[in-house]
Structure 1
């Protein structure tokens, strides 16, 4: 098996690790994480250093590539950009849990994560660095632009078009033929019956626009924690 590393030793990183182990295509050497002490053990794997240690790690462990296990869409991009700056032609792999179902003629880019119980229906297109989370489904002919995500138990009808960096939150339902712009967040438990544009927060049943959204604004955990992490990342890019 080819040797890879996982970027991000958080809770999301543990779930991505589980997908990789169950899939059985790659041998995980360890984690890379700028915010955890080198040598820390996570799920039995060691934190090997930061992204700046990549050239050394690739040579020492004969690495074939890796995957970025960061749940927040914008922060995931910052980490990807940082990796590419250090190793311009780094190989980003996909991981597909064996209990995920991938339909006929599905096309996908790189760096994607398909969690257990996900269903990607026929003729869908998933670009780069997307997350389709536990028990969520993408309807037929759906399109997910790069760095977009479906949270656990999201259900989408056919012909969804989800823009770059946009997130559909826990348990939302999307009817057929919906288009959602870039950097938009659909709130948990929403029922989406209309299309939405860019940089919006919308939720409810039916979902309605609540306010505008700033590019890169956090949505997975506290603003303060997210901002501190982004500032640390940006200082090192």
Structure 2
């Protein structure tokens, strides 16, 4: 982990200067996030600070207020999924209080679709990369999706493919199944899906959540009154989807 000097770099949104040199063998990007943070809109900076505080994962500063001067240190201590969440807000200039990785995935899904860059079916190599980066629970859900799909559509019982069989099975799968497999990986689902309608229902719920949170962010901006966004967890979506 890069060492961080005791004092934050002397820059602001309006006047940017290089931070003080760091002592010892350090990463040259040690202050990179603080610099990006300082150049973000005030509303984005505020939601980033709230994201640090309200993140539900286990980490050293959970539930604690993060001061602006401590942003870089907090970022260095953050788990990888929290770093991705705050990086995402800075990169896309989107204010959103996030409490878990699901929120970032939902907003990124909608953002890509609106930008026309969404890939419903990934190339085999890219799919394999996403699979390898997923948790063991998500990987199992992907593999079991093959067998649940087969049973639902053909009433045939098959074993889920082994890891070494994944890419051949993916390449030979019908396109609708490929799309479902990619969606399971994209949303980090730990439950297999068996039909495209499951994806459609999930996406509709995600869009509803994102729209509601965008409206709330506009209220923050208009009223300059910041308060915590109510996050809908993945389990709530599951309950709505399968009830």
TM-score by length of 1: 0.27
Q: Which has the larger radius of gyration?
A: 2
Q: TM-score, normalised by structure 2?
A: 0.26
Q: In proportion to residue count, which structure has more helix?
A: 2
